[in-house]
Amino acid sequence: MKTHPYARLLALTLSAGLAMPLLAADPPDAGNAKSYAIRIPVTPADAPLQRLLLPAEALVRLQNAAYADLRLFNAAGQPVPMALASVPTQTSTQEHSVKLPAYPILGAESAAATGLEGLSLRIEERQGKRVVQLNTGGSTTTAAAGPQKVLGALIDVRKLKEPAAGMTLDADLPVGQPVTFNVQASKDLKSWRPLADTVLYRADASASAASLGDSRLDLAMADLKDHYLRISWGTAAVTVRGATLLTSQSTAVRQRVSASMAAPALTNAHELVFALPFATPVAALKITPQGSNVLVPIRVLGRNHREQPWALLATTVVYRLGAAGKEQASGPVEIGGASVREVKIEADAKTPGFATAPEISLQFEPAQVVFLASGQGPFTLAAGLAGPAGAAGAFLPMASLIPNYQPSQENTLPLARADASKAEASGSAVLGGPLVPAAPPADGLPTRSLVLWGILLLGVLALAGMAWGLLKQTKKTA
């Protein structure tokens, strides 16, 4: 039977169309270190079982939120057995909260402008209530000396036995006005040492305490036994009723892993959208406005692709303020370990927004791998592999690596070290400078989808052409 020439051409076209996606989908080899986005040399410790803290250079290249595209290779290129573990943020996670009342500090109105620096205090009982009087020049100011004004608040923390990790204020703030709070500590109400400061802001009258910027003041595990705390806020119309102190027996705090980011392009003063080239969960974003005396209420939203609706991650206030020769900047914006590929920062429409793109850095919860140093060194940490190969994790249960395993036992193992300064990156990636590039979100379909749709369209057109040719040939023979 003679094969029609159009049929042969049709078969060739369909074969080519089917072969092209297969060639394009050639998967990378998860067992080859060169398949990964970055390779970092590791200096091992002198022990068979070791642990390795994951550097930021590896975290910003992972394509799997569960760290599945992470491997550790020996000199022979063989992956070594390993397990993934979190790093305790502190030696003890047990915290206690203690609510304490605040006593108003009274003084002449003229003292409000000069502040409380260099002045001592005196506690008095007035009509069954405890108030704190300001001492000036060795004498106590009285009501006869002029109108009295609340200049600050005093909190008695002498009975605290455990170190103080942080403090939140029970306070009323004026609407639309940033207020700088300064916290100092003293044993004798005369000599004061600075302890913490922050800026709180209430965007509108209906705003809840959750929208007050950095509402928790970090006290850095201060020992406050037998101390008083003095809180001052300048001339702002503030009422402080009390404070809640968080105490802990912890003495060592593990810092988060931070990664700098290049400034994204700002096309709208009230909206900043950028892409993240990794899937690693992000604990917090450090967003600092450019310039001086800038305060912007914002919302942070995230999503994984353009077809997905934006999800609210955080609502807060970011600022950079200067007072008395000292600059204050807002703290990290907690987003709860979100794994998103696109981030949008929305500025409150009632404000001027951002004049220029803010400084942005990302913070990750520290993570570590425990591995068996099998084979010869040097060892290489490899991270970043997209596709199904990267989604197939190689982590073992911790009990499979450590005989008679006990919880947190991995934290006692010797520590290997990754030298990110000698890392090698694949493709066109450039090491040095910000770890995270500034990239706009993907616009439209991914390149792979476009290629597949193009092949499908080409096949349809080829089939239509073949059918037309066959129809014409049939008419001629008829």
Query: What pLDDT is attached to residue 354?
Result: 96
Compute the distance between CA of residue 77 and CA of residue 58 in angstroms, rounded to an integer.
Answer: 18
Q: Using alpha carbons only, give the angle 181, 182, 187 rounded to the nearest 5 degrees.
A: 140
Q: In this structure, what token pair is assigned to residue 1?
A: 């039977």
Compute the distance between CA of residue 178 and CA of residue 176 in angstroms, rounded to an integer.
Answer: 7
Q: Using alpha carbons only, give the angle 155, 157, 159 rounded to the nearest 5 degrees.
A: 150
Return the DSSP state at 309: P
Compute the distance between CA of residue 296 and CA of residue 359 in angstroms, rounded to an integer.
Answer: 13
Query: What pLDDT is attached to residue 28?
Result: 81
* Tally: H helices and E strands in the chain: 6, 29
Phi, psi of 335 (to 5 degrees): -125, 15
Handedness of CA 334, 335, 341, 346 (dihedral sign): negative
Compute the distance between CA of residue 305 and CA of residue 243 in angstroms, rounded to an integer.
Answer: 42
Whether the upstream peptide bond of residue 281 has omega within 30° of 0, thus cis, is no
Cα distances from 152 to residues 34, 184, 188, 242, in angstroms, run 61, 11, 17, 12
Q: In this structure, what token pair is assigned to residue 78?
A: 């063989």
Per this entry, what is the length of the chain? 478
Query: What pLDDT is attached to residue 108?
Result: 72
Q: Is the Cβ–Cβ distance between 155 and 184 less than 8 Å? A: no
Ranges in the chain, pLDDT < 50: 1, 3, 21-24, 92, 138-144, 209-211
Helix-strand-coil split of the chain, %, nearest 5: 20, 40, 40
Whether the upstream peptide bond of residue 437 has omega within 30° of 0, thus cis, is no
Q: pTM for the complete prediction? A: 0.77
Q: Which residues pair with 38 in a beta bridge?
A: 383, 425
Q: Is the Cβ–Cβ distance between 328 and 196 less than 8 Å? A: no
Question: Which positions ≥6 away from 412 have C-beta within 8 Å?
Answer: none
Nearest Cα residue to 70 out of 27, 37, 28, 25: 37
Tens digits of residue pLDDT in 422-475: 999 986 555 678 999 988 887 655 555 555 667 777 767 767 767 767 777 776
Q: How many CB atoms lie within 10 A of CB 331?
A: 18
What H or E segment, with its residue span, contains residue 344?
Answer: strand 342-347
Q: Is the Cβ–Cβ distance between 370 and 51 less than 8 Å? A: yes
Compute the distance between CA of residue 139 and CA of residue 372 in angstroms, rounded to an integer.
Answer: 71
Nearest Cα residue to 217 out of 233, 235, 204, 234: 233
Q: Using alpha carbons only, give the angle 51, 53, 59 rounded to the nearest 5 degrees.
A: 135
> In terms of DSSP bridges, do strands 129-136 and 103-108 run parallel, antiparallel, or are they unpaired?
parallel
Question: Which positions ≥6 away from 254 have C-beta within 8 Å?
Answer: 87, 88, 89, 90, 366
Compute the distance between CA of residue 74 and CA of residue 54 in angstroms, rounded to an integer.
Answer: 17
Compute the distance between CA of residue 351 and CA of residue 330 in angstroms, rounded to an integer.
Answer: 17
Q: How many CB atoms lie within 10 A of CB 125?
A: 8
Q: Which residues pair with 258 in a beta bridge?
A: 363
